[in-house]
A = this chain, B = another copy of it.
């Protein structure tokens, strides 16, 4: 290359100056570095990637960006991954076509590892297949893993227990008619939360009719629709526990528009403790997930899987949750 010629050394030496400078003589190093400076040379990353068989790119699959929960997780991931890897962010929304290609990218070694912040079904299946043939650097974050994906390391809170705790908190406030607005039926996370809710109700000696759990798409709109349905019932619950904060915001907005006072007439509880939770009116009681930590731990596990595939990482790591009490929940009147 140019640099080698100008510095009067071999290409090999230039390469060494770039990658293993301590294996090069002091003078040579200085000389080469000067030339690199002078002509403002930077190595062709494409060639390097090709030659090394590594791209230093990792993929993060989220359900959809635009949520502070994911943003905070991303921040954690970035803090760990730092300058060592670039991150390609992909949404797993059904309407996002990129979905299919993410597997391809893995196969073609365009990315070196994946952090799955959601584990929708079509993905899972393909992953299992792939994992059969070779070890895959994948870690699941946020969501508990399905049985299928149990082989991959994961980082999340104990969703069952967290929902149990939140429900128990509502019960202790005197609520007996509580509705849980869950997520989609095929979601593992919300299934766990649903079971935690049911367990707490049972342990509290409360009966739970089948209409006490209703499903939503975890969006604010989903919350709106759910609230409309719930509030149209002959007997109104005194508390609604939502599978995430967005749903809770939707529920609150409907309740307020119907003239119900939160929390006097209706307690509303969220899940996630996203940044908007403290800003709603009234401020939302919710369950905190340590989003940044989840991101960091997931990234750490992934880097380990990539760089030291032999060290068998602890399979799954459970992070602590916390009930955050604000103003949207109160003693039952």
Interface residues in chain A, defined as those with a beta carbon under 8 Å from any beta carbon in chain B: 42-47, 49-50, 53, 55, 57, 64-68, 70-72, 74, 78, 82-83, 86-91, 96-98, 101, 104-105, 107-110, 220, 249-250, 252-253, 256, 275-276, 278-281, 283
Give Cα distance in the complex from A109 to B68, angstroms: 31
Taking A253-B283, A281-B256 as contacts, is the C-beta distance between A108 and B45 under 8 angstroms? yes
Residues on B with beta carbons closer than 8 Å to the beta carbon of A88: 57, 86-89
Q: Which residue on B lies nearest to A81, using beta carbons? A: B98
The listed residue (B55, B57, B96) touching A78 by CB distance below 8 A is: B96
Contact A249 B279 (CB under 8 A): yes
Decide if A68 touches B66 in the complex (CB within 8 Å): yes
| Interfacial chain B residues near A104, Cβ < 8 Å | 42
B82 touches A71 (CB 8 A): no
Using known A-B contacts A44-B109, A83-B97, determine if residue A253 contacts B275 with beta carbons closer than 8 Å.
no
Known: A47-B50, A281-B253. Is A275-B66 also a contact (CB below 8 A)? yes
**Given A65-B70, A83-B97, 11 more contacts at CB 8 Å?**
A42-B108, A43-B108, A45-B105, A46-B55, A66-B70, A66-B275, A78-B97, A83-B98, A88-B88, A220-B279, A249-B279
Interface centre among A87, A250, A256, A280 (most CB of B within 10 A): A280
Docked Cα-Cα span, A55 to B48, in Å, equals: 13
Residues from chain B with a CB closer than 8 A to the CB of A72 are: 66
Nearest CB of chain B from residue A143's CB, rounded to whole Å: 19
Copy number of this protein in the oligomer? 2
Give me 10 A-to-B residue pairs in the complex whose CB atoms sit less than 8 angstroms apart, sorted by A's number. A43-B108, A44-B108, A46-B108, A66-B72, A78-B97, A82-B97, A86-B110, A88-B88, A253-B281, A280-B281
Contact of A50 among B49, B89, B108, B278 (CB under 8 A): B49
Residue contact A107 to B71, C-beta cutoff 8 Å: no
Query: Separation in Å of the A3 CB from the closest CB of chain B?
Result: 15
Across-interface contacts of A43 in B (CB, < 8 A): 108
Give A250's nearest chain B residue, CB to CB.
Answer: B279
A19 to B198 CA separation, bound complex (whole angstroms): 56
Nearest B-chain residue to A100, judged by Cβ: B83
Of the candidates A50, A70, A97, the one having the most CB atoms from chain B within 10 angstroms of its own CB is A50
Q: How far is the CB of A55 from chain B (nearest CB, A)?
A: 7
Q: Which residue of B lies closest to A89 (CB)?
A: B89
A49-B46, A50-B47 are contacts. A281–B279 as well, Cβ < 8 Å? no
B contact residues around A278 at 8 Å (CB): 253
A65 touching B71, Cβ below 8 Å: yes
In the complex, chain B residues whose CB is within 8 Å of the CB of A44: 50, 108-109
Closest beta carbon of chain B to A227's beta carbon, Å: 11
Specify which chain B residues have a CB less than 8 angstroms from the CB of A283 in the assembled complex: 253
Q: Shortest 8 CB-CB distances between A and B: which pairs?
A: A66-B71, A50-B50, A45-B108, A281-B281, A66-B68, A89-B89, A46-B50, A65-B71
Most chain B Cβ neighbours within 10 Å, of A72, A87, A253, A281: A281
